[in-house]
Amino acid sequence: MSKSAISIPEKWEHFLKQLAKDHQVDLNSVISELCAWAFSNTETKKQFKAWLDDAFPPKGEAEDRARAAGARERAIEEEAEEESEEEAHEDRYYSEDLELKP
């Protein structure tokens, strides 16, 4: 088994350390067994991978999503600008019409 340094949120670290203490094992053993249990079947592995891909997409995919989101945002801004310009033109033509009426 390889050694890895991981960071655990404080509330979970306290909980897991207490479990380890209660069962007189080290924290690494608790986390190792937790992972073994969580990924003991193919379905939970697939579910975790799907969740991870959605929460933290692979680098290329994350960049593609960011570009797509930026493109959508720009399109919305451009549409809003066009509508604003159209309204300004309509207001100007309406004002000119009022001035021309006797």
**What radius of gyration do the chain's Cα atoms show?**
29
Query: 14, 25 in Cβ contact below 8 A?
Result: no
Instruction: Dump pLDDT digits (tens) for 26-59.
Output: 999 999 999 999 889 999 999 999 988 888 887 7
Q: What percent of the chain has pLDDT over 90?
A: 33
- Domain count for the chain, please give it: 1
* Residue 98 domain-assigned (yes or no): yes
Q: Is residue 99 part of a domain?
A: yes
The residue among 19 and 3 whose pLDDT is bigger is 19
In a domain, 97, yes or no: yes
Length of the chain: 102
Q: Is residue 78 part of a domain?
A: yes
Q: Is 63 within a domain?
A: no
Q: Determine the structural domain holding residue 74 and report its residue range.
A: 69-102
**Residue at 31 is within a domain:** no
Cβ atoms of 65 and 51 closer than 8 Å = no
Is 89 within a domain? Answer: yes
Instruction: Report H helices in the chain.
Output: 10-22, 27-38, 42-55, 59-100
